[in-house]
Amino acid sequence: MKDFDKFDEMMRDALVCDETPSSDFTRRVMAKVAATPQERLRRQAFPYLKVAAAAAACLVLVYVGTLPLRMRMGSAAPKNQAYSTATTDSATMEAAPEAGEMPDETAGSAEDYYGFAADNSLEASLREESGTNDALITASQKAAAIGYRVEVSTREDGVTVCKLTTPAGCAAAELWLAEQGFADDGGYVLHAVDVAAMNEALPGLSLPEGDCVLILAPEA
Amino acid sequence: MKYDEKTALHRAQKGDQAAFGWLVEAYQGPVYRLALRMGLRPEDAEEAAQNAFLSAWRGLPSFRGEAKFSTWLYRLASNAAVDILRREKKYENQSDIQDLQQSDDAPSPQEQLERQDTQQAVRQAMASLPPEFRQVLVLRYLQEMSYQEIAQTLALPEGTVKSRINRAKGQLKALLAESGNLFGGEAVQEAGKEERQ
């Protein structure tokens, strides 16, 4: 602090003090500390979230990509058999659907046809793959409930980036950040305590609590 | 039990309350003074200090030591003080900021009176500034932190800290000049220059 000028000296002089808190301050703080649990050390969850998200995308692609094939395989035997018994009826043969088309009502329900029950098995399998995925699902659901969409990614330098978007912008979050003295420098650098405080300040918001760069943007 | 800071921190992170008590003892003065100089009354400054220590206790397990413990603690304390300043209506248009006892090197009675007047005027002018401005000024002049340390403490870019301090000083100088408590008019012009820069 060598660059203090006269004004700086005046400031120092005005601010210096040797006041101390009351004598029972430590006792009062420690009484509260005794009743306050420490936050559990959080696992570094974001790489797992990324893996879970990638796995989910792969599962969806595989599922969609193999749908026609599985439809053909599932319908081949009964349809071929049906057509072979109908070869004498040329009118029926012409009207018969091509293999690969959806079977009609008489061929059984869609569930039976595709060989699995419609039981949200995709989400269930995701949850099984990574318990930490629950945090992202919860965060996204809660954020969606108050009009935000949350995207979590990891930058090349390993920094976690949380992107909050809404159609109309993120006024409440921006206001809170400004009130805390955060400046928008292409994003807001938040430590775990800030994220926790923000989640607390904006009811319903539940960003994954860890150090991150937060980007607020209106939905494209 | 006797600790050094590193040991106390390490133990407190693992839930040792006695070790945390040592940290509270060690830092209660600076943390309390920081809150006090941000314009809080003594009872509120104690509340801000207490909130800062409780936040530190809760968050200690995830404190990774990338910054100094004191830096982290001052951030919690200054944020707690800002929270109270915003929450309490009594701090709106505040002008009767606490006049605290000063340690003097026995100047003459006349000098002492003038000095006390100036100190009081600076503190009153500071009380008119937004909490974010007080925050950076207190860290700069009371804690004597560098721009880099303030940036680290408040998790702000260094450029933002510099501009915030310049703007705060500019406003402060203007307020002091208005009330006739600034040494000559040239300082106000300097403040204007700094702001333009």
Please count the CA atoms within 13 angstroms of the CA of B61 that sit on its side-chain side: 13
Chain A residue with CA closest to B20: the answer is A30
- Pick from A4-8, A35-39, A118-122, A191-195: least confident: A118-122
Interface membership of B14 toward A (CB under 8 Å): no
* DSSP states of B100-165: ---------HHHHHHHHHHHHHHHHHHHTS-HHHHHHHHHHHTS---HHHHHHHHT--HHHHHHHH
Interface membership of A65 toward B (CB under 8 Å): no
pLDDT by position in tens, chain B (length 197): 677 888 999 999 989 999 999 999 999 999 999 999 888 999 999 999 999 999 999 999 888 877 889 988 999 999 999 888 888 766 665 544 444 444 445 556 666 677 778 888 888 888 889 888 999 999 998 888 999 999 988 888 999 999 999 999 999 888 888 877 666 444 444 444 554 44
Interface membership of B9 toward A (CB under 8 Å): no
Please list every residue in chain B whose beta carbon sits closer than 8 Å to the beta carbon of residue A18: 29, 33, 101, 103
Between B153 and A122, residue with greater pLDDT: B153
pLDDT of residue A203: 75
CA distances, A130 to each of A46, A101, A154, B115 (Å) = 11, 36, 17, 65
Interface membership of B138 toward A (CB under 8 Å): yes
Residues 6+ apart with CB under 8 A from A82: A96
Rounded to a whole number of angstroms, the distance from the CA of A206 to the nearest CA of chain B is 18
The dihedrals phi and psi of B165, each to the nearest 5 degrees, come to -65, -40
Chain A residue with CA closest to B121: the answer is A14
> What is the maximum span of chain B, computed from C-alpha positions, in angstroms?
56
Residues 6+ apart with CB under 8 A from A216: A163, A164, A165, A169, A170, A173, A174, A177, A184, A188
**Beta strand pairing call for A188-190 and A160-166:** unpaired
Highest mean pLDDT: which range of A36-45, A193-202, B184-193: A193-202
Helix (H, G, I), strand (E, B) or coil at A188: strand
The dihedrals phi and psi of B180, each to the nearest 5 degrees, come to 70, 25
Are B75 and B83 contacting, i.e. CB atoms less than 8 angstroms apart? Answer: no
Please list every residue in chain B whose beta carbon sits closer than 8 Å to the beta carbon of residue A7: 169, 173, 187, 190-191
Can you tell me the distance from the alpha carbon of A23 to that of A43, in angstroms, rounded to the nearest whole number?
39
Q: Which amino acid is at A36?
A: T
Between B112 and A108, residue with greater pLDDT: B112
Please list every residue in chain A whose beta carbon sits closer than 8 Å to the beta carbon of residue B123: 14-15
Please list every residue in chain B whose beta carbon sits closer than 8 Å to the beta carbon of residue A22: 46
Size of interface A-B (CB pairs under 8 A): 140
Location of structure tokens 């004598």: A23
Helix (H, G, I), strand (E, B) or coil at A137: helix
Rounded to a whole number of angstroms, the distance from the CA of B106 to the nearest CA of chain A is 15
Interface membership of B194 toward A (CB under 8 Å): no
The dihedrals phi and psi of A150, each to the nearest 5 degrees, come to -110, 130
Q: Which of residues 108-167 of A touch B (CB under 8 A)?
A: none
E strands along chain A, which residues? Answer: 149-154, 160-166, 188-190, 212-218
Ramachandran sector of residue A204 (left: φ over 0; alpha: ψ -120 to 50; beta: rest):
left
For residue B13, count other CB atoms closer than 10 A to its CB.
Answer: 19
The pLDDT tens digits of the residues spanning A49-70 come to 777 788 888 888 887 777 777 7
Interface membership of A21 toward B (CB under 8 Å): yes
Sheet holding A212-218, edge to edge: A149-154, A160-166, A212-218, A188-190
**CA angle, B69 then B74 then B77, to 5°:** 125
Can you tell me the distance from the alpha carbon of B20 to that of B61, in angstroms, rounded to the nearest whole number?
12
Interface membership of A25 toward B (CB under 8 Å): yes
Residues 6+ apart with CB under 8 A from A1: A8, B144, B146
Q: Do A181 and B154 touch (CB under 8 A)?
A: yes
CA distances, A204 to each of A12, A147, A163, A214, A215 (Å) = 43, 10, 16, 17, 18
In this prediction the ipTM stands at 0.75
pTM summary value: 0.51
Chain centroid, CA A182 distance in Å: 24
